């Protein structure tokens, strides 16, 4: 019989259910279990594709082109669970599917209701995630907070699965908050009320993960166990980490969370080798070497807007035994600076510059100025999606002297649209746009830096964009010295570019950050951080020479 684990949250949102679920998944994999991960988002949006980065953080894209919640990125970084459209479930999807069935007459004239029709569809979607015969455990994170009206159908579906499949096959893990009040006292009352809410729905938690500023003592854990009817050993202290979120699997392992889960589900398991996570944490804790990377973007106010990029940079640091210090630079501030000297002052103390993806014209000129500074000063530069387009715009303006070169996204009627809509590559009269989503192949130029970094001629990466380098300007740009180092299989679209005679100036139209893991850094991020470290060494050597002179 297949096993299911539901991870819910109480008291308030943003407690870290996604990290907790992913950490548990990683421990089960280390015990030789085969797992699948799924995220339930109670919002009525069909997916996260149209949601603002300010409100919802980044959009994580899967190989099959699904635009999903950023927690799927956590699953990808912590586990090897395959992720796709089926692993992201929203209220919008469920109601859309049920209404479509009703319109098709598939309910045979019956009244369509939340129970059983909505909950049945939810259960079908959950069961489909782990339907492969080799899958042992499916971990389902239910977004939102217990008590939210939006989450009720999903919690009811979980309750029904526990009843139908047997409690020995379905486990409830509840993440809740132990707040600290005046006098540094930890309070359990919010947790008691949260469990009470969950039990009122008909779900008794088997395991409690207690978020707190520090580790809970045994007396407090016993108190929580008594009030919530959860075994003492299953009250797990999910305390704040000092160094990195990648320490959480180790924290859970020290409290035998994985053993408790597997014993409760009656599963056999092997030994657990935690050395990969221990190495990751050791780099964060013990490395005395730091490299400063500027992320020049337009959404920097919200921490999660560039979540996968930030994490991939940390992974690049781990691969080079360095800690990465992220310097978040608002591109609008660079845009408002009056002189190139001001730009140099803002970026002069960083070792590398990364421009990530994004949409809309706001802050673009600041990104162009950052790219120009990196190109003319030999600073390692990594452009992702929009960051590649910025490279092309800057090069066309500075080297080809097309002062009004731009993208039709930002200037639809500009005289030099060096970046334009996909359809414009073929038919200038057709201004419709369709997003390129999901994984596709890119062919890399022999002898190019990106080909050397990957070590293979063809790579498969994920896309999320509408605009491309215009083929009308492609030859002109190449003849001026900007190398086109990657193309689609039919050679019709530019996938990567490179500054010639530059230590590291690479732009890619795809999103490599989605494939990076702390235990296996993406080669582009590992290479970028390596070159940023080399730039720091050169800069420090130059300072010493000048001081000696």
Write out the catalytic residue numbers: 385, 511, 513
CB atoms within 10 A of CB 223: 17
Please report how many Cα atoms fall inside a 13 Å half-sphere around the Cα of residue 522, on the Cβ side.
22
Tokens at 239, concatenated: 């305390």
Burial level of 480, CB count in 10 A (0-12/13-18/19+)?
A: middle
Q: Cα separations (Å) of 220 from 17, 213, 258, 451?
A: 22, 14, 22, 56
Q: How far apart, in whole angstroms, are the C-alpha atoms of residue 316 and residue 547?
A: 32
Counting every residue written for the chain, the total comes to 549
Pairing of strands 467-469, 381-384: unpaired
Structure tokens at 30: 């280390």
Instruction: Give the number of other Cβ atoms within 10 Å of residue 547's Cβ.
Output: 7
How distant, in Å, are the alpha carbons of 82, 375, 379, 405, 499 from that of 366? Answer: 37, 14, 16, 15, 19
Asked whether the bond before 425 is cis by omega within 30 degrees of 0, the reply is no
What DSSP line would sit under 12-69, residue for residue? SS-S-HHHHHHHHHHHHHHTT--EEEEEEE-SSSSSSTTS-HHHH-PPEE-TT--EE-
Q: Which residue has the tokens 């800057």?
A: 394
Beta bridge partners, 463, equal 438
What CA–CA distance (Å, rounded) separates 518 from 381? 22
Cα separation, 371 vs 152, in Å, equals 48
Strand order across the beta sheet in which 494-499 lies = 323-330, 290-297, 352-355, 381-384, 505-508, 494-499, 482-487, 436-444, 458-465
To 10 degrees, what angle do helices 275-286 and 307-319 make?
90
What 3-state DSSP class applies to 463?
strand
User: Please, are residues 157 and 170 in contact by the beta-carbon 8 Å criterion?
Assistant: no
Taking the CA atoms of residue 27, residue 28, residue 30 and residue 33 in that order, the dihedral angle to the nearest 10 degrees is -170
258, 252 in Cβ contact below 8 A? yes
Cβ neighbours of 422 (radius 10 Å) = 18
Q: How far apart are CA 485 and CA 451, in angstroms?
A: 8
Could you tell me the two tokens for 214? Answer: 């520090």
């Amino acid at each position: 019989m297949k096993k299911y684990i539901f991870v819910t949250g109480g008291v308030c949102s943003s407690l870290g259910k996604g990290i907790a679920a992913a950490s548990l998944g990683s421990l089960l994999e280390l015990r030789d279990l085969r797992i699948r991960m799924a995220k339930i988002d109670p919002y009525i949006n069909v997916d996260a594709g149209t949601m603002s980065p300010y409100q919802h953080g980044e959009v994580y894209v899967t190989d099959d082109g699904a635009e999903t919640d950023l927690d799927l990125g956590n699953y990808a970084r912590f586990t090897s669970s395959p992720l796709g459209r089926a692993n992201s479930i929203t209220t919008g999807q469920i109601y859309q599917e049920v209404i479509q069935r009703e319109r098709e007459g598939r309910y045979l004239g019956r009244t369509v209701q939340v129970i059983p029709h909505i909950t049945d569809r939810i259960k079908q979607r959950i069961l489909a995630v782990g339907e492969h015969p080799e899958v042992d455990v499916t971990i389902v994170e239910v977004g939102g907070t217990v008590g939210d009206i939006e989450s009720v159908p999903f919690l009811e579906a979980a309750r029904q699965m526990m009843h139908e499949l047997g409690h020995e096959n379905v486990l409830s893990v509840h993440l809740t908050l132990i707040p600290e009040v005046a006098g540094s006292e930890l309070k359990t009352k919010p947790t008691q009320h949260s469990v009470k809410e969950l039990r009122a729905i008909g779900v008794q938690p088997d395991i409690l993960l207690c978020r707190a500023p520090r580790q809970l003592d045994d007396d407090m854990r016993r108190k929580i166990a008594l009030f919530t009817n959860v075994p003492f050993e299953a009250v797990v202290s999910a305390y704040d980490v000092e160094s990195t979120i990648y320490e959480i699997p180790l924290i859970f392992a020290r409290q035998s969370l994985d053993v408790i889960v597997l014993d409760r589900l009656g599963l056999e398991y092997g030994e657990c080798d935690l050395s990969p996570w221990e190495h990751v944490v050791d780099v964060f804790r013990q490395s005395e070497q730091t490299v400063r990377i500027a992320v020049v973007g337009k959404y920097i106010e919200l921490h999660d807007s560039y979540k996968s990029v930030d994490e991939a940079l940390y992974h690049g640091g781990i691969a080079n035994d360095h800690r990465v210090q992220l310097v978040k630079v608002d591109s609008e501030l660079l845009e408002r600076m009056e002189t190139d000297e001001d730009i140099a002052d803002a970026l002069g103390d960083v070792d590398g510059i990364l421009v990530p993806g994004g949409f809309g014209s706001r802050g673009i000129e600041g990104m162009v100025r950052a790219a120009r500074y990196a190109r003319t000063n030999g600073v390692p530069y990594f452009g992702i999606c929009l960051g590649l387009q910025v490279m092309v715009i800057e090069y066309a303006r500075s080297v080809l002297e097309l002062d009004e070169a731009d993208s039709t996204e930002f200037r639809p009627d500009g005289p030099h649209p060096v970046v334009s809509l996909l359809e414009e590559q073929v038919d200038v009269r057709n201004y419709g746009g369709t997003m390129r989503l999901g994984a596709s192949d890119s062919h890399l130029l022999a002898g190019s830096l990106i080909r050397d970094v990957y070590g293979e001629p063809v790579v498969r990466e994920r896309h999320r964009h509408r605009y491309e380098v215009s083929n009308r300007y492609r030859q002109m740009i190449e003849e001026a010295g900007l190398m086109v180092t990657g193309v689609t299989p039919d050679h019709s679209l530019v996938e990567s570019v490179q500054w010639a005679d530059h230590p590291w100036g690479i732009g890619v139209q795809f999103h490599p950050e989605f494939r990076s893991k702390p235990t296996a850094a993406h080669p582009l991020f590992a290479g970028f951080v390596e070159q940023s470290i080399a730039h720091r060494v050169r800069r420090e050597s130059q300072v010493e020479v000048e001081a000696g002179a």
